[in-house]
C-alpha cells in the first residue's frame, strides 16, 4: 500500500513514502503512553550518538541533544529507572551501583581488526564532546546526568573505515549482583532489532526480577552488517554480553540503564511491532492542489478521522504531525493521541499535556500543542514553532522560531 504524495513532496527522502516505511517513525511514538518500542530506544538514542558531529547538540541547528532525547521518553517509563550510585570517572567498572546491582561489573572492551579484545575502557565522562583518543580506539562514555546516573552510554568511534582499524566486536564482562536469582533475556544470536529508519540494528540483554536493580544493555550498530552475532551468559550473575560484527564497524554505541527493584522492562520496550491498525492514506488537503486557506483545509479534512500532516519549510526542514483527534473546527483544544516529528532531524516528540494535543480552529491551519508547538496561520504560508506541550520539540524542529515560510503542506486522513 503506497501513499501517493503530490509532486511537491515527491523528493522527500523517507524510504520512498510507502505507508509502512513513511509512517513507522511516527507510529512508534504513538505507543508512548502504553509502551516503549525498540525504535524509540534505537532511533531516539542513536540520533544523539550517531550524530555526524559526534557531540552533544549545543543549541544551534543541525545537531542533537541528549536532554532533548531524554525529554522524549515518557514519565511513565522514566519513573521505573533506577539511579546507579557510586560510579567514578577514571574507573573501568561498577563496583556495586547501590542495592547490590553489581559485584564488579560493566567492564567494557572492544576488538579492532583481527586483534583480540583489548584493555577495559575507562569511564571518561565525555558527555559533550567528540570521542577522545583511547586504547585501542577513540571512545567516549557519559553517565547521564552525572556520576549518579540513570543512563550510561558509550560511543566507540574507529579512526578510519579500513577493516584493520574498525571495530569487530564489543563486549561487557564482570559479575552482577543477582547471585543466580531472577531471570535473563536477550535478542537471539542472529535476530537483532532494526530501527524504523533501517539504518541501525541493536542487540539487547536484560537481567531482572532478582530484587536488585535490573540491568539493561542495548548495543547499537549499522544495519549494513547483516551477519553480526550476539551471545551472552545464561547466568543472571554474569555480565558477559558480546556482539561480534560480521562487517567491521566505524561506530558502535552501548547503552546501559537500570530498573528499580528488579523492574522488568517489557519485551515491547525493546521489540518493534507498534504499527497503526488504520494509517491515514487519503489525501484530504494539499496546499498547492486545493488552495492556501485554513478554511479550505477544514472544509476538506474536518470529521475525517485521524490525520497525518506533512509540512515542508523554505529553510529545508520537513515536519510531520499525527493526531487521532478528528479536526472539527471546534475553536478549542482537542484531547486524544498526538505527536509531532522532524523528518530532517529524525525525531519524534510525544505530548506531555493531554489537554493540549491540537488547537482546532477554522482560522488556523493544522496547529499542535498549547502555546503553540506548531502553529500554521490562516494563509497556510507561515507560522511558528515554540516549545510548550511536546517533549523536546520547539523551534529546533523547524530550524528557527518563525524565520521560514511553508513551501508545501499536505494532510492525510483515515476516512475518505
Mean pLDDT along residues 192-207: 73
Instruction: Determine which of 46-55, 161-170, 201-210, 344-353 has the lowest per-residue pLDDT on average.
Output: 46-55
Mean pLDDT along residues 197-214: 84
pLDDT band at 348 (very low <50, low <70, confident <90, very high): low
Give the best-scoring range by mean pLDDT among 62-76, 173-187, 208-222, 335-349: 173-187
Examine the pLDDT at 66 and tell me if it is beyond 80. no
The pLDDT, as a whole number, for residue 394 is: 83
Which tops the pLDDT comparison, 382 or 353?
382
> Three-class SS of residue 202?
strand
Using only the alpha carbons of the chain, give its radius of gyration.
22
Among 134, 120, 125, 186, CA closest to 154: 125
| The dihedral sign for the CA sequence 349, 214, 194, 135 | positive
The pLDDT, as a whole number, for residue 257 is: 87
Domain ranges in the chain are 38-269, 282-413
The pLDDT, as a whole number, for residue 203 is: 86
Give percent helix, percent strand, percent coil of the chain, each to the nearest 5: 15, 35, 50
Number of C-beta neighbours around residue 2 at 10 A: 12
| Residue burial 59-84, b: 16+ Cβ < 10 Å; e: rest | eeeebbbbebbbbbbbeeeeebbbeb
Computed over every residue of the chain, the mean pLDDT equals 76
Summarised one tens digit per residue, pLDDT across range 104-125 is 999 999 999 888 998 999 998 8
Mean pLDDT along residues 201-229: 88
pLDDT band at 194 (very low <50, low <70, confident <90, very high): low
Examine the pLDDT at 299 and tell me if it is beyond 80. yes
List, in sequence order, every residue forming a beta bridge with 47; answer none if it has no partner. none
The pLDDT, as a whole number, for residue 55 is: 28
Among 350, 367, 258, CA closest to 309: 367
The pLDDT, as a whole number, for residue 129 is: 57
Contact 358, 302 (CB under 8 A): no
- DSSP code of residue 165: G
The pLDDT, as a whole number, for residue 275 is: 31
The pLDDT, as a whole number, for residue 119 is: 92
The pLDDT, as a whole number, for residue 222 is: 77
Residue 120 CB contacts under 8 Å (≥ 6 apart), including other chains: 92, 93, 107, 108, 109
Q: What percent of the chain has pLDDT over 70?
A: 72
Residue 93 CB contacts under 8 Å (≥ 6 apart), including other chains: 102, 104, 105, 106, 107, 120, 174
Which tops the pLDDT comparison, 260 or 72?
260
Nearest-angstrom CA–CA distance, 200 and 214: 25
The pLDDT, as a whole number, for residue 328 is: 95
The pLDDT, as a whole number, for residue 52 is: 27
pLDDT band at 373 (very low <50, low <70, confident <90, very high): very high
Examine the pLDDT at 70 and tell me if it is beyond 80. no
List, in sequence order, every residue forming a beta bridge with 206; answer none if it has no partner. 185, 216
Contact 340, 373 (CB under 8 A): yes
Which tops the pLDDT comparison, 127 or 94?
94
The pLDDT, as a whole number, for residue 140 is: 85
Integer CA distances (angstroms), 122 to 24, 69, 91, 126, in order: 37, 25, 5, 11
Summarised one tens digit per residue, pLDDT across range 11-38 is 343 333 333 333 333 333 333 222 222 3
The pLDDT, as a whole number, for residue 377 is: 97
Mean pLDDT along residues 169-190: 94
pLDDT band at 327 (very low <50, low <70, confident <90, very high): very high
Amino acid at each position: 500500500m503506497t501513499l501517493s504524495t503530490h509532486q511537491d513532496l515527491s523528493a522527500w527522502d523517507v524510504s520512498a513514502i510507502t505507508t509502512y516505511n513513511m509512517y513507522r517513525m511516527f507510529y512508534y511514538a504513538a505507543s508512548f503512553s502504553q509502551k516503549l518500542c525498540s525504535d524509540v530506544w534505537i532511533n531516539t538514542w542513536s540520533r544523539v550518538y550517531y550524530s555526524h558531529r559526534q557531540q552533544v547538540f549545543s543549541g544551534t541547528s543541525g545537531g542533537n541533544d541528549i536532554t532533548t532525547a531524554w525529554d522524549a521518553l515518557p514519565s511513565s517509563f522514566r519513573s521505573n529507572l533506577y539511579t546507579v550510585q557510586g560510579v567514578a570517572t577514571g574507573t573501568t567498572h561498577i563496583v556495586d551501583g547501590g542495592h547490590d546491582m553489581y559485584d564488579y561489573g560493566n567492564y567494557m572492551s572492544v576488538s579492532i581488526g583481527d586483534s583480540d579484545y583489548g584493555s577495559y575502557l575507562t569511564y571518561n565522562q565525555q558527555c559533550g564532546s567528540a570521542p577522545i583518543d583511547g586504547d585501542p580506539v577513540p571512545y567516549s562514555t557519559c553517565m547521564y546526568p552525572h556520576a549518579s546516573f540513570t543512563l550510561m552510554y558509550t560511543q566507540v568511534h574507529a579512526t578510519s573505515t579500513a577493516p584493520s582499524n574498525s571495530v569487530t566486536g564489543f563486549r561487557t564482562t564482570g559479575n552482577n549482583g543477582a547471585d543466580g536469582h531472577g531471570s535473563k533475556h536477550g535478542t537471539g544470536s542472529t535476530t537483532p532489532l532494526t530501527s524504523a529508519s533501517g539504518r541501525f540494528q541493536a542487540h539487547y540483554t536484560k537481567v531482572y526480577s532478582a530484587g536488585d536493580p535490573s540491568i539493561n544493555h542495548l548495543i547499537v550498530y549499522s544495519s549494513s552488517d547483516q551477519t553480526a552475532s550476539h551471545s551472552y551468559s545464561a547466568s543472571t550473575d554474569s555480565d558477559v554480553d558480546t556482539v561480534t560484527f560480521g562487517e567491521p564497524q566505524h561506530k558502535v554505541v552501548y547503552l546501559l540503564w537500570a530498573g528499580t527493584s528488579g523492574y522488568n522492562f517489557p519485551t515491547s520496550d525493546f521489540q518493534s511491532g507498534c504499527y497503526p491498525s488504520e494509517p491515514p492514506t487519503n489525501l484530504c488537503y494539499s496546499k498547492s492542489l486545493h488552495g492556501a486557506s485554513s478554511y479550505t483545509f477544514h472544509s476538506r479534512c474536518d470529521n475525517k478521522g485521524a490525520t497525518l500532516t506533512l509540512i515542508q519549510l523554505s529553510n529545508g526542514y520537513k515536519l510531520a504531525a499525527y493526531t487521532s483527534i478528528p479536526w472539527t473546527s471546534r475553536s478549542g483544544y482537542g484531547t486524544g493521541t498526538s505527536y509531532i516529528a522532524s523528518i530532517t532531524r529524525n525525531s519524534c516528540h510525544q505530548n506531555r499535556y493531554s489537554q493540549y494535543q491540537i488547537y482546532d480552529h477554522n482560522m488556523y491551519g493544522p496547529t499542535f500543542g498549547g502555546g503553540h508547538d506548531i502553529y500554521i496561520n490562516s494563509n497556510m504560508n507561515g507560522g511558528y514553532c515554540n516549545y510548550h506541550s511536546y517533549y523536546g520539540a520547539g523551534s529546533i524542529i523547524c530550524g528557527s522560531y518563525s524565520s521560514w515560510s511553508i513551501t508545501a503542506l499536505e494532510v492525510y486522513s483515515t476516512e475518505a
